[in-house]
Structure 1
Amino acid sequence: MPALPSPRTPDPLAAPALNSGMLGEVRSVLADMGEYFDPAGGHRILRADLAGGPLLDLGTYPVSLATWVLGPPETVQASGVPHPAGVNGQVGAVLNSERGEQAVLHTTLFSDTPTTATVAGTEGTLHLPGPFYHPGDVLFTPTGGGTPRTYTEPRTAHEGLHFEAAEVARRIKNGQSETPLRPLADSIATMRVMDEIRHRCGISFPGE
């Protein structure tokens, strides 16, 4: 895999738990996102001509979480399973950093999976109940059997996308082409990892 940029420190506005030191040294990220799609339903995620399969849709969430928390990986290992519709149906990936951190990621079209995420460090663990990409509760468990704490925020689902649209509008109004909440470098790191996963799994699309 080509050398990737050095990992950046997560923005303190977006990651107070990570920057506070409460987790100690972050060592692991576990994330999953799976949703069942009926092969007879004709959904665009099952169409090869529309770059279907879970990776470029559902899979962007666990991959972007891992690269945001740990930075770009040094190595990527992945395995995929085909879907009868002619697209990839399931992917499992392991990302390793040169510092020994590891992310274990999974995405599938075959089943409804828990869609949870865990960020684990030497001093504690953060657990994001499913679906982890929605705002909602975060559970912190200290290492060694301390008292767990739950951080609660209002839960929203896809209607929360209006916050993203509003941020785009603010940045455009201010003459900016990106936001510090999700810099372009983060998106590029995510896409490079997904390209490597595709390469490892032999996933290609018409016209490539």
Structure 2
Amino acid sequence: MTDALATLPAPRHPDPADAPALRWGVLGPGGIAADFTDALHRHTGQRVVAAGSRSAERAAAFAAAHGVERSHGSYEALVSDPDVDVVYIATPHSEHLEHALLAIAAGKHILIEKPMAVTAEQARRIVAAAREAGVFAMEAMWTRYLPQTDIIRQLLEREALGELRVVTADFGGHVPYQPESRLWNPALAGGALLDLGVYTVSWASFALGAPAGIIAAGTLAPSGVDEQAALLLSSAGGAQALLSTSLLAGTPSLATISGSAARIETDSPFWGPSGLRVFRSDGTLAAHWRDPYGRPHRDGMAYEAAALARYVGEGRTESPLHPLAEAVDTLATIDEARRQLGATRVE
């Protein structure tokens, strides 16, 4: 066991630049769309060929700033563009259902920013529509496609940690309270859980699967959205996940998976390219892996785009590393946590 832990498996992901080239359309040219577009153009053969917004001026400005060929002054025009293979949906998650269905109806493959929708029921509608249309659909949980995640995946597949017992993850940031802004406004599906918290719930799902029990505690903002939350998730086998998220304070953004034989601790941030440490059951360090690939921070979104292109080339309709059913289950966990907290719901 000691030797196996000291020699970590190599990530199995090929270079993002080697993925088949698809033509992308960006629906919702905001900050994360800008980082996504730049990551694709820097690190892959993918190309964003069109940007669409309700504002023609905003779409044109985005296209000019990020080397995009053309722009559209409506979402309908973007999804109807015959030169677009796949639509990246980067609008606020309160609009994901509408925009996903719009793109699917136009016959486009879709990558939807996380969370896939506001509720599990909305996500199920997207999944059903994509399957009926036969198009590829994927939630943009980019953490699943990082090299470090594949190392962890291989350790879990080999049961190198022994029997899993405790999983932890945190993600918090200090966001000044502005009741009309996206993170604080219930009409825009604001709150910590549906934004930062989705990373932590997805991490627990990655390690343990869908929870058998959910206990949530936290506080609400004056607007009624959850401003801070702690979740205790339990698995059918008795393992537990301890998760926290906050809009009130920055937290370390660390995650762990602990088993009877060993534990994994990520470097910070666990949700982006960083690294990991593996400790033996006696607490001694077995190995420390640092990401060597030079795609820091949101440049790591190149991996998910490359994965999508490969899956489409293989004729798949969903990701084998992050199936649509799991994205739905993650939202079901958040649904229940928000219900327990009494968070305002606008659907």
Q: How far is 1:32 from its partner?
A: 0.4
Q: Which amino acid aligns with 2:302?
A: H
TM-score by length of 2: 0.53
- Counterpart-to-counterpart distance in 2, 1:98 and 1:78: 18
**Equivalent of 2:255, from 117, 125, 149?**
117
Q: Does 1:203 align with 2:343?
A: yes
What RMSD, in angstroms, separates the aligned Cα atoms of the two structures?
2.1
Give the aligned partner of residue 5 of structure 1.
none
Alignment check: 8 A CA contact 1:14 1:181 kept: no
Alignment check: 8 A CA contact 2:174 2:248 kept: yes
**Which ranges in structure 2 are unaligned for 5 or more consecutive residues?**
1-148
**Equivalent of 1:57, from 178, 185, 195?**
195
- Counterpart-to-counterpart distance in 2, 1:187 and 1:161: 18
Give the aligned partner of residue 323 of structure 2.
183
- Counterpart-to-counterpart distance in 2, 1:82 and 1:132: 26
Q: Which amino acid aligns with 1:157?
A: H
Other structure's SS at 2:183 match: helix
**Equivalent of 1:37, from 159, 162, 175?**
175
Alignment check: 8 A CA contact 1:37 1:43 kept: no
State the 4+ residue runs in structure 1 displaced beyond 6 angstroms. Answer: 11-14
Q: Does 1:96 align with 2:213?
A: no
Stretch deviating more after TM superposition (161-170 or 15-24): 161-170
Q: How far is 1:200 from its partner?
A: 1.3
Aligned length, in residue pairs: 197
Q: Which protein shows a greater Rg?
A: 2
Alignment of 1:103-142 (within 5 A): 103-142=241-280
CA shift in 2, pair 1:147/1:196, >3 Å: same
Give the aligned partner of residue 8 of structure 1.
none
Give the aligned partner of residue 302 of structure 2.
162
Give the aligned partner of residue 220 of structure 2.
82
Q: How far is 1:137 from its partner?
A: 1.3
Other structure's SS at 1:148 match: strand
Q: How far is 1:14 from its partner?
A: 6.7
Give the aligned partner of residue 143 of structure 1.
281
Identical-residue share of aligned pairs (%): 36
- Counterpart-to-counterpart distance in 2, 1:153 and 1:183: 25
CA shift in 2, pair 1:87/1:199, >3 Å: closer
CA shift in 2, pair 1:41/1:108, >3 Å: same
Other structure's SS at 2:217 match: strand
**Which ranges in structure 1 are unaligned for 5 or more consecutive residues?**
1-10
Q: How far is 1:85 from its partner?
A: 4.4
TM-score by length of 1: 0.86
Structure with higher RCO (Cα < 8 A, 6+ apart): 1
